[in-house]
Structure 1
Amino acid sequence: MALELLEATSKCRLPHRPDQTLCMRSGIHMGPCVAGIVGSKMPRYCLFGDTINTASRMESTGEPMKIQISDDVKRALDRTGLFVTSRRGLIDVKGKGEMVTHWLDGRTGPSPARPTTSLDCTPSFLERIHSQGRTSPRYQSIKRNNC
């Protein structure tokens, strides 16, 4: 899924900066965790545990447009023989110390079927703003003033 998200993200253009693409970081770790519903007025599904914290650190210490994975994930992916990884090396992970991490670079096997339709990466709220605002006097004055 992270590889598919990375590919889709690379095709997204920012409406206010058409010359730039959207960038994302991903981090993956595996292990035990606990899940539960927290809150009564506004319940939220939450995940807890060291595994979740480590996955979060994989993301936050990663680099744009890369997927950083822990050594545990690399070993599991190697057993499948379907993925290409490269060693990143030792990184200092807050709360964990130094960890060996890797980059998930791609797949060796066939990719899952992709939809034939093109991706529309414009957030729906922006579509509403653009469609409603183009006829408003405020939009016309902003357009004229080139702001």
Structure 2
Amino acid sequence: MKFLLCEFPFVVDLLNDLYTMFDAIIALHDVYKVETIGDAYMVASGVPNRNGNRHAAEVANMSLDILHSIGNFKIKHMPEIKVKIRIGLHSGPVVAGVVGLKMPRYCLFGDTVTTASLMESSGLRKFTVVQSDRFRSVVGLVDVWMLVLQVKGTEDTYWLMGREDFNKPLPVPPDLAGG
């Protein structure tokens, strides 16, 4: 039990360092941090302030910056260990609003939120998975692959590989040709 108690401050430090890095990156894009729950970090674009058709590009660009930055991220107490994150993106309608009286929170609801969450939890670490064809028109090269989403069945999904003017190093996805 002592071991677990000793590790908790390290977990809090790790999440604080990660979230501080993420916060600095989202400040560069037209996105809004909706909430953090444990190690999950939820971001949206186009809410609470609408931004036309830019929301897909904004979250895709933010995602690329996060993937690039995570490659240089160092865990203070274990600098030799690399952090691997999963990112799921989806574009579509949401219902947004403030809920609660004692500790009110701005929340997003709907199939778009559920799908993005399922894509993140079903995806591979170090890569961004997108489903919506909207992302194909705003970012560079993507490859189609199949992803089984719990509850939703099998969906066509895409790797977010970058965009033409993004020249920072990104993780290389695995070869999926073999299945």
C-alpha separation between the residues in 1 aligned to 2:136 and 2:114? 23
Unpaired runs of 5+ in structure 1?
Answer: 113-147
- C-alpha offsets along residues 33-76 of structure 1, whole Å, 9 cap, x if unaligned? 10011111111110000110000011001111100110x2xx22
- Contact 2:98/2:105 (CA < 8 Å) preserved in 1? yes
List aligned pairs for 1:48-87, cutoff 5 A: 48-70=109-131, 72=132, 75-80=133-138, 82-87=139-144
In structure 2, how many angstroms separate the alpha carbons of the residues matched to 1:58 and 1:21? 22
Q: Equivalent residue for 2:63?
A: 2
* Corresponding residue to 1:42 among 78, 97, 103: 103
- Tell me if structure 1 keeps the 8 A contact 2:87–2:123: yes
Q: Of 153, 162, 165, which residue of structure 2 is paired with 1:97? A: 153
Q: Go from structure 1 to structure 2 and tell me whether the alpha carbon gap of 1:78 and 1:91 turns closer, same or farther (over 3 Å shift).
A: closer
Give the TM-score taking structure 1 as reference length. Answer: 0.67
The one-letter code sitting in structure 2 at the alignment partner of 1:105 is M
Given the two structures, how large is their TM-score scaled by the length of structure 2?
0.56
Identity among equivalent pairs (%): 38
Q: Aligned residues, how many?
A: 106
3-state SS of the aligned residue for 2:64?
helix
Q: Which amino acid aligns with 2:134?
A: A
CA distance in 2, matches of 1:9, 1:92: 26
Structure 1 position 104, deviation (Å): 0.4
> Contact 2:91–2:134 at 8 Å: present in 1 too?
no
Distance apart, 1:21 and its partner CA: 2.0
Q: Which is strand-richer, 1 or 2?
A: 1
Do structure 1's residue 11 and structure 2's residue 72 form an aligned pair?
A: yes
> In the aligned structure 2, how far is the partner of 1:77 from the partner of 1:38?
30
Partner Cα separation in structure 1 for residue 128 and residue 136 of structure 2: 16
Alpha-carbon distance in structure 1 between the residues aligned to 2:117 and 2:135? 19
Distance 1:49 1:62 in 2: 20
**Residue 67 of structure 1 aligns to which amino acid in structure 2?**
T
SS at the partner of 1:91? Answer: strand
**Residue 79 of structure 1, CA deviation:** 2.6
User: What secondary structure is seen at the aligned counterpart in 1 of 2:91?
Assistant: coil
Which of these two proteins has the greater Rg computed from alpha carbons?
A: 1
